[in-house]
Structure 1
Protein backbone atom coordinates (compact mmCIF):
# COMPACT_ATOMS: atom_id res chain seq x y z
CA UNK A 1 0.00 0.00 0.00
CA UNK A 2 2.87 2.35 0.81
CA UNK A 3 4.31 1.81 -2.65
CA UNK A 4 1.04 2.81 -4.34
CA UNK A 5 0.69 5.98 -2.27
CA UNK A 6 4.37 6.78 -2.80
CA UNK A 7 3.98 6.31 -6.56
CA UNK A 8 0.91 8.55 -6.76
CA UNK A 9 2.55 11.31 -4.72
CA UNK A 10 5.74 10.97 -6.78
CA UNK A 11 3.74 11.34 -10.01
CA UNK A 12 2.10 14.49 -8.63
CA UNK A 13 5.52 15.79 -7.58
CA UNK A 14 7.06 15.18 -11.00
CA UNK A 15 4.12 16.78 -12.82
CA UNK A 16 4.24 19.84 -10.54
CA UNK A 17 8.01 20.12 -11.00
CA UNK A 18 7.49 20.04 -14.75
CA UNK A 19 4.81 22.70 -14.32
CA UNK A 20 7.35 24.92 -12.55
CA UNK A 21 9.74 24.67 -15.47
CA UNK A 22 7.27 24.68 -18.37
CA UNK A 23 4.77 27.33 -17.23
CA UNK A 24 5.11 30.66 -19.00
CA UNK A 25 3.46 32.62 -16.18
CA UNK A 26 5.85 33.11 -13.26
CA UNK A 27 3.04 33.23 -10.68
CA UNK A 28 1.74 29.90 -11.96
CA UNK A 29 5.28 28.54 -11.65
CA UNK A 30 5.36 29.66 -8.01
CA UNK A 31 2.05 27.91 -7.36
CA UNK A 32 3.32 24.74 -9.05
CA UNK A 33 6.34 25.02 -6.75
CA UNK A 34 4.00 25.19 -3.76
CA UNK A 35 2.22 22.00 -4.85
CA UNK A 36 5.56 20.29 -5.50
CA UNK A 37 6.77 21.15 -1.99
CA UNK A 38 3.50 19.91 -0.51
CA UNK A 39 4.04 16.66 -2.44
CA UNK A 40 7.48 16.34 -0.87
CA UNK A 41 5.81 16.68 2.53
CA UNK A 42 3.46 13.88 1.48
CA UNK A 43 6.44 11.68 0.64
CA UNK A 44 7.86 12.41 4.09
CA UNK A 45 4.56 11.27 5.59
CA UNK A 46 4.67 8.03 3.60
CA UNK A 47 8.19 7.47 4.94
CA UNK A 48 6.83 7.95 8.48
CA UNK A 49 8.85 11.08 9.25
CA UNK A 50 6.09 13.34 10.50
CA UNK A 51 8.45 15.99 11.87
CA UNK A 52 10.11 16.51 8.50
CA UNK A 53 6.70 16.67 6.82
CA UNK A 54 5.53 19.40 9.20
CA UNK A 55 8.77 21.34 8.79
CA UNK A 56 8.49 20.99 5.00
CA UNK A 57 4.94 22.36 5.06
CA UNK A 58 5.68 25.23 7.42
CA UNK A 59 9.04 26.39 6.12
CA UNK A 60 8.97 25.62 2.41
CA UNK A 61 5.27 25.30 1.67
CA UNK A 62 4.37 28.30 3.77
CA UNK A 63 7.14 30.79 4.33
CA UNK A 64 9.39 30.35 1.30
CA UNK A 65 6.61 30.29 -1.30
CA UNK A 66 4.94 33.31 0.31
CA UNK A 67 8.25 35.22 0.20
CA UNK A 68 8.69 34.25 -3.46
CA UNK A 69 5.16 35.40 -4.32
CA UNK A 70 5.64 38.71 -2.48
CA UNK A 71 8.96 39.26 -4.27
CA UNK A 72 7.33 38.54 -7.62
CA UNK A 73 4.42 40.86 -7.00
CA UNK A 74 6.54 43.70 -5.64
CA UNK A 75 9.27 43.59 -8.28
CA UNK A 76 7.25 42.64 -11.32
CA UNK A 77 7.68 44.99 -14.24
CA UNK A 78 5.62 44.54 -17.39
CA UNK A 79 8.21 46.44 -19.49
CA UNK A 80 10.52 43.43 -19.66
CA UNK A 81 10.25 41.62 -22.97
CA UNK A 82 8.78 38.14 -22.84
CA UNK A 83 11.02 35.29 -23.78
CA UNK A 84 10.15 34.21 -27.28
CA UNK A 85 10.32 30.68 -28.57
CA UNK A 86 13.85 29.57 -29.26
CA UNK A 87 14.67 27.15 -32.06
CA UNK A 88 17.02 25.21 -29.76
CA UNK A 89 14.36 24.35 -27.17
CA UNK A 90 13.28 21.09 -28.87
CA UNK A 91 16.92 19.97 -28.92
CA UNK A 92 17.25 20.82 -25.23
CA UNK A 93 14.06 18.88 -24.52
CA UNK A 94 15.30 15.82 -26.39
CA UNK A 95 18.64 15.97 -24.56
CA UNK A 96 16.82 16.27 -21.22
CA UNK A 97 14.71 13.21 -21.98
CA UNK A 98 17.81 11.26 -23.02
CA UNK A 99 19.57 12.20 -19.77
CA UNK A 100 16.47 11.17 -17.80
CA UNK A 101 16.30 7.82 -19.59
CA UNK A 102 20.02 7.21 -19.06
CA UNK A 103 19.81 7.99 -15.34
CA UNK A 104 16.68 5.87 -14.94
CA UNK A 105 18.21 2.86 -16.68
CA UNK A 106 21.42 3.10 -14.67
CA UNK A 107 19.45 3.44 -11.44
CA UNK A 108 17.21 0.46 -12.12
CA UNK A 109 20.17 -1.71 -13.15
CA UNK A 110 22.10 -0.88 -9.98
CA UNK A 111 21.94 -2.82 -6.75
CA UNK A 112 20.20 0.01 -4.91
CA UNK A 113 16.71 -1.25 -5.67
CA UNK A 114 17.53 -4.91 -5.13
CA UNK A 115 19.09 -4.27 -1.73
CA UNK A 116 16.42 -1.83 -0.51
CA UNK A 117 14.25 -3.11 2.30
CA UNK A 118 10.51 -3.04 1.88
CA UNK A 119 9.73 -2.28 5.51
CA UNK A 120 9.54 1.29 6.67
CA UNK A 121 10.52 1.97 10.25
CA UNK A 122 9.31 5.18 11.84
CA UNK A 123 12.02 7.69 12.60
CA UNK A 124 11.34 9.95 15.53
CA UNK A 125 12.71 13.37 16.29
CA UNK A 126 15.20 11.87 18.74
CA UNK A 127 16.80 9.62 16.12
CA UNK A 128 16.77 12.49 13.60
CA UNK A 129 18.58 14.80 16.03
CA UNK A 130 21.01 12.08 17.01
CA UNK A 131 21.98 11.31 13.43
CA UNK A 132 22.09 15.00 12.52
CA UNK A 133 24.67 15.79 15.19
CA UNK A 134 26.72 12.58 14.98
CA UNK A 135 26.76 11.02 11.53
CA UNK A 136 25.78 14.13 9.56
CA UNK A 137 27.48 16.79 11.72
CA UNK A 138 30.04 17.92 9.14
CA UNK A 139 27.56 18.26 6.23
CA UNK A 140 25.19 20.09 8.59
CA UNK A 141 27.91 22.57 9.52
CA UNK A 142 28.95 22.98 5.87
CA UNK A 143 25.34 23.78 4.95
CA UNK A 144 25.21 26.39 7.71
CA UNK A 145 28.49 27.86 6.42
CA UNK A 146 27.08 28.09 2.87
CA UNK A 147 23.98 29.85 4.22
CA UNK A 148 26.16 32.27 6.19
CA UNK A 149 28.22 33.11 3.09
CA UNK A 150 25.01 33.66 1.08
CA UNK A 151 23.66 35.96 3.80
CA UNK A 152 26.87 37.99 3.90
CA UNK A 153 26.86 38.20 0.09
CA UNK A 154 23.26 39.45 0.09
CA UNK A 155 24.13 42.11 2.67
CA UNK A 156 27.15 43.25 0.63
CA UNK A 157 25.08 43.47 -2.55
CA UNK A 158 22.28 45.36 -0.80
CA UNK A 159 24.69 47.84 0.82
CA UNK A 160 26.61 48.50 -2.39
CA UNK A 161 23.39 49.47 -4.18
CA UNK A 162 22.48 52.05 -1.54
CA UNK A 163 25.92 53.66 -1.49
CA UNK A 164 26.10 53.87 -5.26
CA UNK A 165 29.32 51.82 -5.47
Structure 2
Protein backbone atom coordinates (compact mmCIF):
# COMPACT_ATOMS: atom_id res chain seq x y z
CA UNK A 1 0.00 0.00 0.00
CA UNK A 2 1.45 3.33 -1.04
CA UNK A 3 0.95 6.80 0.36
CA UNK A 4 -1.34 7.60 -2.58
CA UNK A 5 -3.54 4.61 -1.76
CA UNK A 6 -3.78 5.60 1.91
CA UNK A 7 -4.54 9.22 1.06
CA UNK A 8 -7.16 8.19 -1.49
CA UNK A 9 -8.76 5.85 1.06
CA UNK A 10 -8.87 8.54 3.76
CA UNK A 11 -10.32 11.14 1.39
CA UNK A 12 -12.85 8.62 0.06
CA UNK A 13 -13.93 7.68 3.57
CA UNK A 14 -14.35 11.33 4.59
CA UNK A 15 -16.29 11.97 1.38
CA UNK A 16 -18.63 9.02 1.98
CA UNK A 17 -19.25 9.89 5.63
CA UNK A 18 -19.91 13.55 4.83
CA UNK A 19 -22.30 12.55 2.02
CA UNK A 20 -24.28 10.39 4.46
CA UNK A 21 -24.30 13.25 6.97
CA UNK A 22 -25.50 15.68 4.28
CA UNK A 23 -28.43 13.42 3.49
CA UNK A 24 -29.38 12.51 7.05
CA UNK A 25 -29.06 15.84 8.84
CA UNK A 26 -32.28 17.69 9.62
CA UNK A 27 -30.85 21.19 9.32
CA UNK A 28 -30.58 22.64 5.83
CA UNK A 29 -27.52 24.80 6.41
CA UNK A 30 -25.68 21.88 8.01
CA UNK A 31 -26.57 19.76 4.98
CA UNK A 32 -25.05 22.39 2.69
CA UNK A 33 -21.88 22.48 4.79
CA UNK A 34 -21.61 18.67 4.79
CA UNK A 35 -22.09 18.79 1.02
CA UNK A 36 -19.24 21.29 0.80
CA UNK A 37 -16.95 18.92 2.70
CA UNK A 38 -18.04 15.99 0.52
CA UNK A 39 -17.35 17.85 -2.73
CA UNK A 40 -14.01 19.18 -1.48
CA UNK A 41 -12.75 15.75 -0.45
CA UNK A 42 -13.99 14.34 -3.75
CA UNK A 43 -11.86 16.96 -5.47
CA UNK A 44 -8.94 15.73 -3.37
CA UNK A 45 -9.63 12.19 -4.62
CA UNK A 46 -9.42 13.42 -8.21
CA UNK A 47 -6.16 15.18 -7.37
CA UNK A 48 -4.65 12.01 -5.90
CA UNK A 49 -5.68 10.12 -9.05
CA UNK A 50 -3.77 12.63 -11.18
CA UNK A 51 -6.75 14.41 -12.77
CA UNK A 52 -5.78 17.95 -11.84
CA UNK A 53 -8.17 19.66 -14.25
CA UNK A 54 -11.15 17.61 -13.07
CA UNK A 55 -10.22 18.40 -9.45
CA UNK A 56 -10.09 22.12 -10.24
CA UNK A 57 -13.41 22.02 -12.07
CA UNK A 58 -14.92 20.09 -9.15
CA UNK A 59 -13.80 22.83 -6.76
CA UNK A 60 -14.88 25.71 -8.97
CA UNK A 61 -18.23 24.38 -10.14
CA UNK A 62 -19.55 22.32 -7.25
CA UNK A 63 -17.97 23.86 -4.18
CA UNK A 64 -17.67 27.38 -5.53
CA UNK A 65 -20.97 27.63 -7.37
CA UNK A 66 -23.55 25.00 -6.50
CA UNK A 67 -23.11 25.07 -2.72
CA UNK A 68 -23.00 28.87 -2.69
CA UNK A 69 -26.17 28.89 -4.82
CA UNK A 70 -27.88 26.56 -2.32
CA UNK A 71 -26.87 28.79 0.58
CA UNK A 72 -28.10 31.90 -1.27
CA UNK A 73 -31.40 30.14 -2.00
CA UNK A 74 -31.79 29.33 1.69
CA UNK A 75 -31.07 32.92 2.66
CA UNK A 76 -33.24 34.51 -0.02
CA UNK A 77 -36.29 32.31 0.49
CA UNK A 78 -36.15 32.70 4.26
CA UNK A 79 -36.44 28.96 4.72
CA UNK A 80 -36.31 27.74 8.31
CA UNK A 81 -32.70 27.21 9.27
CA UNK A 82 -33.16 25.08 12.37
CA UNK A 83 -35.26 22.00 12.92
CA UNK A 84 -38.77 22.26 11.53
CA UNK A 85 -41.79 20.13 12.40
CA UNK A 86 -43.10 20.65 8.86
CA UNK A 87 -40.13 18.82 7.37
CA UNK A 88 -39.83 16.06 9.94
CA UNK A 89 -40.36 12.57 8.55
CA UNK A 90 -41.60 9.74 10.79
CA UNK A 91 -39.42 6.69 11.33
CA UNK A 92 -41.65 4.51 9.13
CA UNK A 93 -41.10 6.88 6.20
CA UNK A 94 -37.36 6.79 6.75
CA UNK A 95 -37.34 2.99 6.75
CA UNK A 96 -39.34 2.90 3.51
CA UNK A 97 -36.85 5.32 1.95
CA UNK A 98 -33.95 3.17 3.18
CA UNK A 99 -35.45 0.02 1.70
CA UNK A 100 -36.17 1.73 -1.64
CA UNK A 101 -32.68 3.20 -1.86
CA UNK A 102 -31.05 -0.13 -0.97
CA UNK A 103 -33.17 -1.89 -3.59
CA UNK A 104 -32.24 0.71 -6.20
CA UNK A 105 -28.54 0.37 -5.35
CA UNK A 106 -28.77 -3.41 -5.53
CA UNK A 107 -30.56 -3.23 -8.88
CA UNK A 108 -27.90 -0.91 -10.28
CA UNK A 109 -25.12 -3.16 -8.98
CA UNK A 110 -26.77 -6.23 -10.52
CA UNK A 111 -27.27 -4.44 -13.84
CA UNK A 112 -23.63 -3.34 -14.01
CA UNK A 113 -22.38 -6.76 -12.92
CA UNK A 114 -24.50 -8.44 -15.61
CA UNK A 115 -23.46 -5.95 -18.28
CA UNK A 116 -19.73 -5.91 -17.63
CA UNK A 117 -19.06 -8.93 -15.44
CA UNK A 118 -15.36 -9.56 -15.12
CA UNK A 119 -14.40 -7.73 -18.32
CA UNK A 120 -11.42 -5.49 -18.21
CA UNK A 121 -12.14 -2.12 -19.73
CA UNK A 122 -9.24 -0.43 -21.50
CA UNK A 123 -8.80 3.29 -21.07
CA UNK A 124 -7.42 5.43 -23.87
CA UNK A 125 -5.34 7.52 -21.46
CA UNK A 126 -6.75 10.94 -22.27
CA UNK A 127 -4.72 13.92 -21.21
CA UNK A 128 -5.65 17.21 -19.63
CA UNK A 129 -4.97 18.90 -22.95
CA UNK A 130 -7.55 16.72 -24.74
CA UNK A 131 -10.12 17.28 -22.00
CA UNK A 132 -9.53 21.03 -22.01
CA UNK A 133 -9.77 21.17 -25.81
CA UNK A 134 -13.15 19.40 -25.71
CA UNK A 135 -14.45 21.31 -22.71
CA UNK A 136 -13.47 24.77 -23.89
CA UNK A 137 -13.77 24.05 -27.63
CA UNK A 138 -16.81 21.93 -28.41
CA UNK A 139 -18.74 22.64 -25.24
CA UNK A 140 -17.95 26.33 -24.78
CA UNK A 141 -21.33 27.58 -26.03
CA UNK A 142 -23.49 25.23 -23.93
CA UNK A 143 -21.40 26.21 -20.91
CA UNK A 144 -21.98 29.92 -21.59
CA UNK A 145 -25.72 29.39 -22.14
CA UNK A 146 -25.93 27.53 -18.84
CA UNK A 147 -24.16 30.36 -17.05
CA UNK A 148 -26.67 32.85 -18.52
CA UNK A 149 -29.60 30.69 -17.36
CA UNK A 150 -28.15 30.54 -13.83
CA UNK A 151 -27.58 34.31 -13.87
CA UNK A 152 -31.19 34.88 -14.98
CA UNK A 153 -32.42 32.64 -12.14
CA UNK A 154 -30.36 34.59 -9.61
CA UNK A 155 -31.62 37.95 -10.92
CA UNK A 156 -35.18 36.61 -10.85
CA UNK A 157 -34.78 35.50 -7.24
CA UNK A 158 -33.44 38.92 -6.28
CA UNK A 159 -36.32 40.61 -8.11
CA UNK A 160 -38.84 38.47 -6.23
CA UNK A 161 -37.22 39.36 -2.91
CA UNK A 162 -37.43 43.06 -3.68
CA UNK A 163 -41.25 43.08 -3.93
CA UNK A 164 -43.80 42.82 -1.19
CA UNK A 165 -46.71 40.43 -1.15
CA UNK A 166 -49.16 43.31 -1.70
CA UNK A 167 -47.44 44.22 -4.99
CA UNK A 168 -45.41 47.20 -3.81
CA UNK A 169 -41.65 47.33 -3.58
CA UNK A 170 -39.73 47.59 -0.35
Secondary structure, aligned partner of 1:114: coil
Give the corresponding residue for 1:103: 108
Give ranges in structure 1 of 5+ residues lacking alignment. none
Question: d(CA) in 2 for partners of 1:120 and 1:42?
Answer: 23
Give the corresponding residue for 1:85: 89
C-alpha contact 2:11 2:41 (8 A) present in aligned 1: yes
Aligned in 2, Cα 1:27/1:113: closer, same or farther, shift over 3 Å? farther
Question: d(CA) in 1 for partners of 2:54 and 2:16?
Answer: 20
Question: d(CA) in 1 for partners of 2:155 and 2:72?
Answer: 20
Q: How large is the RMSD of aligned CA atoms in angstroms?
A: 3.7
- Could you tell me how far 1:59 is from its partner in structure 2? 5.2
4+ aligned runs moved over 4 Å, structure 1 = 1-8, 62-80, 119-122
Question: d(CA) in 2 for partners of 1:55 and 1:107?
Answer: 27
Question: d(CA) in 2 for partners of 1:28 and 1:78?
Answer: 9
Q: TM-score, length-normalised on structure 2?
A: 0.67
Give ranges in structure 2 of 5+ residues lacking alignment. none
Stretch of structure 1 that moved more, 33-42 or 62-71: 62-71
Question: d(CA) in 2 for partners of 1:72 and 1:160?
Answer: 14
- Could you tell me how far 1:26 is from its partner in structure 2? 2.6
Secondary structure, aligned partner of 2:58: helix
- Could you tell me how far 1:96 is from its partner in structure 2? 0.8
Q: TM-score, length-normalised on structure 1?
A: 0.69
